[in-house]
Structure 1
Amino acid sequence: MSADMSFIGLFLQASLLVKAVMLLLLALSIISWAMIFQRSSILSKAHKDSRSFEDRFWSGVELANLYHEVSHKIGESNASESVFKAGFKEFARMRKTPHCSPEAIMDATHRAMRVSMSREVDKLESHLPFLATVGSISPYIGLFGTVWGIMNAFIALGEVKQATLSMVAPGIAEALIATAMGLFAAIPAVIAYNRFSNRVEKIENGMINFMEEFSSIIHRQAIAKIEKGGE
């Protein structure tokens, strides 16, 4: 009777360990794709919302009014909004401190924005280490299943007196499927990790630029307050 050379047939004929390897790789692939779709949606929304907020910021609205608007916003703030809220809140608090120099105000404000930005970047990078791990270990897991399957095929081949290609082909084929599944899980994960890391870096650079521009504005306001107080 000829062996079933379909994917399902080869899977059913595989040894228990090779089946476990295939199922593990399938699970990693499914989880990776779920995270890829999730991260893609989240990063796209983060970029769009940050651009929208920065357009609002540069529209000429008063900073105090913008802070009140953002603070009472329903739902979670985006990255740029969080940085702005942290910076303006610290700026308003330090500006009320008596005999506080503009340098001290700016130092405290900048620290608050840096902490907020770090938290936002950590949120954006969530699940990216998992994709990197899947991309790096999946080929080796698949290779392990292949080596084990080929080893069993040759052990079985050594127990017969007359070996033929039809006898060893199914065993080798089912073993190589493990390698193929390892690559199938790894390649999308690596591509997604590199792409998402680049997108997070661009969003982070955008926040850094926004911080510097925002710092320039509040620095002028801090100096103006000191000069006004000294008159």
Structure 2
Amino acid sequence: MRVSRLLAFLAFLPALALAQTAMSPAAAPGPAAAAVLPRDLSVLGMFLAADWVVQAVMVGLVVASVLTWTVFLAKSLELAAAQRRQTQALAAIDNAPSLDAAPANDLVAAALAERQLSVDNDNDRDGLKERIASRLERLEAATGRRMLKGTGVLATIGATAPFVGLFGTVWGIMNSFIGISKSQTTNLAVVAPGIAEALLATALGLAAAIPAVVIYNHFSRRIAAYRALVGDTSAAVLRLVSRDLGKSGAK
């Protein structure tokens, strides 16, 4: 009898284990089990899985980055061409014997125009030089303003892009915590994809802001150098004016 009872108990053990496994909560499908499924955590995958607000932030930051590099390319070509022309003009004006023999240039044209308007004031040489200097000074300022066009957007992007990216991050993390509350689980697999999508917005914000700041400072130095070159050209024109007035006074 005892042997038969022992055999019956051993035969019952597999059925008991199977029943306990079926009743275990870990075997029941739930949010945590579904969360461990693999997700596409590439940049494109995180963008497509992100909330529409975070997607809008990312698109805006990408557009800002493209705009930054477009301004960099266009302004670099413009500055290079302007500096080359101004260097050539300065060399030609320095070698010119008189204002009339100087090459065509905005500064030379302004000096000739003022001299023509003051043709009846032969005895007002100092006044003529002051008026020409005033014209040249205004042209220098206008040239500097023209070269600065387009660089203001770089300063704006550099100052605001990190905060825009931070807004996208805060919004994405807020959605992640809402997802935690709804899923009733603290499994890291539930939280990680949403946080990664949110942090991608911050990364894009920094990727847009850092080049914008560096490029803006680069252009500030180059434009200052160009304005100094224009100032040298203006001084060369004034020397020609003074030389011509000295010749006419000697006659």
What's the TM-score once normalised by structure 1's chain length?
0.87
Partner of 1:174: 197
| 2:77 is the alignment partner of 1:85 | no
Distance in 1, matches of 2:242 and 2:101, equals 18
| 2:147 is the alignment partner of 1:111 | no
Q: How does 1:118-157 map to 2 (within 5 A)?
A: 118-157=141-180
| 2:36 is the alignment partner of 1:12 | no
Distance in 2, matches of 1:133 and 1:85, equals 37
| 2:182 is the alignment partner of 1:159 | yes
Query: What amino acid maps onto 1:171 in structure 2?
Result: G
Query: What amino acid maps onto 1:27 in structure 2?
Result: V
Contact 1:101 1:226 in 2 (8 A): no
Partner of 2:25: none
Q: Which runs of 5+ in 2 are unaligned?
A: 1-36
| 2:198 is the alignment partner of 1:198 | no
Q: How does 1:13-32 map to 2 (within 5 A)?
A: 13-32=49-68
Match of 1:98 among 107, 113, 121: 121
Superposition deviation, residue 119 in structure 1: 1.6
Partner of 1:78: none
Contact 1:142 1:180 in 2 (8 A): yes
Distance in 2, matches of 1:219 and 1:93, equals 17
My pick for the range that moved more, 51-60 or 168-177, is: 51-60
Local SS of the residue matching 2:243: helix
Distance in 2, matches of 1:54 and 1:123, equals 19
Distance in 2, matches of 1:99 and 1:87, equals 15
Distance in 1, matches of 2:165 and 2:178, equals 20
Superposition deviation, residue 99 in structure 1: 4.1
Distance in 2, matches of 1:177 and 1:7, equals 8
Q: Which runs of 5+ in 1 are unaligned?
A: 71-80
| Aligned CA distance change for structure 1 residues 57 and 99 (closer, same or farther; 3 Å) | closer
Distance in 2, matches of 1:99 and 1:221, equals 12
User: How many pairs does the alignment contain?
Assistant: 215
Distance in 2, matches of 1:123 and 1:150, equals 44
Superposition deviation, residue 179 in structure 1: 0.6
Contact 1:102 1:223 in 2 (8 A): no
Superposition deviation, residue 203 in structure 1: 0.9
Superposition deviation, residue 107 in structure 1: 1.0
Which has the higher Rg, Structure 1 or Structure 2?
A: 2
RMSD: 1.6
What's the TM-score once normalised by structure 2's chain length?
0.81
Distance in 2, matches of 1:191 and 1:60, equals 40
Superposition deviation, residue 86 in structure 1: 1.4
Query: What amino acid maps onto 2:68 in structure 1?
Result: S
